[in-house]
Amino acid sequence: MKTPPADSFSALLRERGLRATPRRLQLLSLLARAERPMSAHEIKAKWKRGRIDLVTLYRALDALVAATLARRVDLRHGHIDYEINRSGNHHHHLVCTGCGVIEEVTACPGKNLGELALARSAKFASLEEHALEFFGTCKACVA
């Protein structure tokens, strides 16, 4: 999982009409390195250079999500988690209801199923996104 250079992040931000500030670059870098979705509070705790206000963080995350550079995920942990949205890295999650451990699932019927659902739907004009998460028990929590 290699991390794109900071310049590439700058370009990504500017392409979407967002300013490439140090905080947003570090945020993208953090998200890109992360091995699992993180909450705003976790991101703040992991912040390296300088500090970031939680409000700024929430607003930056909102901007990234709106720009499709990040995704929101609900893992039933009582808060929103965020993860980077790389093209070609579509995936979902297995979540342990015991300890919260997370594993990625790469198989996904979402697109086809979405088209089917849309075709059968009376009310909807288009689908942009879907959420799919599995909840179960990990081997450590069974023992």
41-70 footprint of DNA as x/- string (CB under 7 A): x--------xxxxxxx-xxx-xx-------
Among DNA, its own copies, none, residue 107 binds (CB under 5-8 Å by kind): its own copies
Q: How far is the CB of 97 from DNA (least distance, A)?
A: 14
Name the segment binding DNA (CB under 7 A); options: 77-85, 98-106, 107-115, 116-124: 77-85
Nearest C-alpha neighbor of 71 from the set 45, 79, 62, 117: 62
Task: Specify the residue, 8 or 97, whose C-beta has the smaller distance to its own copies.
Answer: 97
DSSP letters for 45-105: HH--SS---HHHHHHHHHHHHHTTSEEEE--SSSS-EEEE--TT---EEEEETTT--EEEE
Residues that bind its own copies (CB under 8 A): 72, 74, 76, 94, 96-97, 101, 103, 105, 107-110, 113-114, 116-118, 120-142
Measured from the CB atom, the residue of 14 and 76 that comes closer to its own copies is 76
DSSP 5: P
User: How far is Cα 68 from Cα 85, in angstroms, rounded to an integer?
Assistant: 7
47 close to 28: Cβ distance less than 8 angstroms: no
14 binds, among DNA, its own copies, none (CB under 5 to 8 A by kind): DNA
**94 φ, ψ to 5°?**
-100, 130
Q: Which does 53 bind (CB under 5 to 8 A by kind): its own copies, DNA, none?
A: DNA
Three-class SS of residue 109? coil
Q: Which residues bind DNA (CB under 7 A)?
A: 10, 13-14, 18-24, 39-41, 50-56, 58-60, 62-63, 78-80
